[in-house]
Amino acid sequence: MDTQTLCKTLDLERLEVNLFRGFTPEEESRERIYGGQVIAQSLLAAYETVEDRVCHSLHCYFIRPGDPNIPIVFEVDRSRDGGSFTTRRVIAVQHGQQIFNLAASFQVEEEGFEHQSEMPAAPPPEAVEDDIAVQRRLLADAPAHMRAWLDRPQPIEMRTVGGRIDGPNPEKREPHQQVWFRAKDPIGPDPHMHQVILAYASDMSLLGTSIRPHGVNWQTPGMQTASLDHAMWFHRPTDFNEWHLYHQESPSSSGGRGFNLGYIYRASDGALVASCAQEGLMRMRKPRKS
């Protein structure tokens, strides 16, 4: 799925004033819906009920795994329309049950005080190997269906500084990482869509930060991971067709959960355009007794 196909996929069908329907692309072939897709579609559903305001923050919970074989129904609650801020709540439903909910706040454009943290040092994206190339090398002996998964078109280009920890025997690393990423194909002139695609991509790699110190990965037998919640703050508008540095760190993991923070900087001028926080499940399942 390329970026333009992703934009079309995220587009929603309006069923009623506050009711929308979304779909999952057939070529994704996932057992469950990718979390970033539901974040992006929920944000788009909220935007369908908001005029002349831009999302500055969203907070969401992943409640049940999404079924990629059936549509998702998005119900928007118009919580408040204020003078400066608008609040929306979105519930995503499948099989008659909530699979996800999102609360988002939108603000009129406003001038104010400004400061930001400095963009951390990182090798330029041109000096970092593409993640897909790294995965193909590390998974050269993997089953054919896994290698085929890597060959499908990708909407987001990602380059992990220092390389990924895929493969059967991952080494232990510090609980932080840096990832360069951008949309592979032109998104178009709509600034809201750049924000939506950035939200889509923000769920990529973040959970993996808390796994790095433990010498495991998604291939490790018995390893179970899933996003539990996700929060995002949009500080400045940006063009996501440009390179951005996703600086990630994991201050803590405990109780079968990993906590992660992410900061997204624009490469061209070092502007901090967004910040993220996420907690995810990271559980080693015990083998079943025969």
Active-site entry in 41, 202, 227, 248: 227
- Integer CA distances (angstroms), 7 to 148, 156, 187, in order: 23, 12, 7
Active-site entry in 177, 210, 248, 278: 278
DSSP 93-120: EETTEEEEEEEEEEE---------PPPP
Q: 144-151 and 131-138 helices cross at what angle (nearest 10)?
A: 170
Based on the residue annotation, tell me whether 130 is a catalytic residue of this protein. no
Nearest by Cα to 38 from 14, 9, 2: 9
As a whole number of angstroms, the distance between CA 272 and CA 89 comes to 26
Strand partners, 246: 179, 264
Quote the distance between the C-alpha of residue 12 and its chain's center.
19
Residue with tokens 């539990």: 228
- Integer CA distances (angstroms), 147 to 5, 140, 156, 248, in order: 22, 7, 18, 27
Based on the residue annotation, tell me whether 151 is a catalytic residue of this protein. no
Active-site entry in 203, 250, 253, 275: 203
Structure tokens at 56: 């500055």
Based on the residue annotation, tell me whether 278 is a catalytic residue of this protein. yes
Give the residue numbers marked as catalytic.
Answer: 203, 227, 278
